[in-house]
Structure 1
Amino acid sequence: MIKRLIGATFLLLVALTASAQPDRPARERIESMRVAFITDKLELSPEESQRFWPLYNEYQDKEEAIRKSYRPEPPPSGDMTDQAAEKFLQDGFLMEQELLDLKKEYYLRLREVVPVRKIARLPRVERAFKERLLQELQNRRMQNGQRRGN
């Protein structure tokens, strides 16, 4: 499950980096779609939304910073020493712990602005948005491939 999520996130990031890097408005459109999707699926009121989004965006920025700070070199395809493997694993554990601590911190902060039941639905809604975005990217690629093939 986690490997699928990491793989999907990686594919999404690669696709976004490749296609949206020179086209800044595309990235902004995706962000607007994400805000609309999450707001709709969590059924955030205007008041909740106004208080939720600054906190959520702050959380996302901190999460990204943690992930970037621990971005390890991928292990060589079999020539990893035990010492290198140990460091690789320990760094991964440290990153996961920092991410967990961050989630706990923002859970406490978010529950002050939206009901807990909406926070509980947030991970599922985030996954649904990523899946929808990946599906749209795949559909677009297939359509582009069909146009070129004709």
Structure 2
Amino acid sequence: MKTKYLLPLLLLLSLSIFAQGGKEKRERIKALKVSFLTTELNLTSEEAAKFWPVYNAFEEKEFDLRHRKMRGLVRKLDEGGLDTMTDKEALSYLNQLEAADEELFKLRQKLIADLKTIIGPVKILRLKKAEDEFNKRLLAKYRERKG
């Protein structure tokens, strides 16, 4: 049950991080992530040539989806909207969260299907592990700075 609500909270957190520093901060984080994933995945040059266009397209769609779908909700919550939100509004936002989660899930499924023929299942699992580790380190740095 906790996991069901953890993803939307992480979505909101990632949107907040990207919104605060704008495009420059997003690009810097992306460059760090590319470097980290390159090291962790140890792709051949042939794999890298096919992997990065697919992965970059996925990341752009993922960011667009999160940004487009979640912007209003984040703004409402940041403005103290929970205190004045009606049950009907809350239900609407929950439905939006569920729809966004479903779209993100389908997007991730497509990425995995596309990558199976490019890097294979073992490296896909390495990718998942590396993404999780990168996000964990990014969050730790964020907390450290907020201190």
Query: CA 1:64 to 1:27, structure 2 compared with 1: closer, same or farther past 3 Å?
Result: closer
1:69 matched to 2:68: yes
SS at match of 1:113: coil
Query: CA 1:62 to 1:93, structure 2 compared with 1: closer, same or farther past 3 Å?
Result: same
C-alpha contact (below 8 Å) 2:66/2:100 kept by paired residues: yes
Among candidates 110, 113, 137, match of residue 108 of structure 1: 113
| Matched positions, count | 136
More displaced 10-residue stretch of structure 1: 122-131 or 53-62: 122-131
The AA in structure 1 aligned to 2:129 is: R
1:117 matched to 2:122: yes
TM-score (norm. length: structure 2): 0.74
CA distance in 1: counterparts of 2:30 and 2:139, whole angstroms: 14
Stretches of structure 1 lacking an aligned partner (at least 5 in a row): 143-150
C-alpha contact (below 8 Å) 2:58/2:107 kept by paired residues: yes
Stretches of structure 2 lacking an aligned partner (at least 5 in a row): none
Deviation at 1:34, TM superposition (A): 1.7
CA distance in 1: counterparts of 2:101 and 2:27, whole angstroms: 29
The AA in structure 1 aligned to 2:115 is: L
What percentage of aligned pairs have identical amino acids?
29
SS at match of 1:126: helix
Among candidates 69, 93, 107, match of residue 88 of structure 1: 93
The AA in structure 2 aligned to 1:83 is: K
CA distance in 2: counterparts of 1:43 and 1:123, whole angstroms: 14
Deviation at 1:86, TM superposition (A): 1.2
Query: CA 1:138 to 1:47, structure 2 compared with 1: closer, same or farther past 3 Å?
Result: same
TM-score (norm. length: structure 1): 0.72
The AA in structure 2 aligned to 1:108 is: A
The equivalent residue for 2:83 is 78
Query: CA 1:125 to 1:12, structure 2 compared with 1: closer, same or farther past 3 Å?
Result: farther
C-alpha contact (below 8 Å) 2:69/2:100 kept by paired residues: yes
Instruction: Return structure 1 stretches of 4+ with deviation > 2 angstroms.
Output: 1-14, 26-33, 72-75, 130-139
Considering fraction of residues, name the structure with more helix.
2
C-alpha contact (below 8 Å) 2:18/2:26 kept by paired residues: no
SS at match of 2:132: helix
The equivalent residue for 1:126 is 131
**Greater C-alpha Rg:** 1
Two-structure CA RMSD over aligned residues (Å): 2.9
Deviation at 1:5, TM superposition (A): 4.1
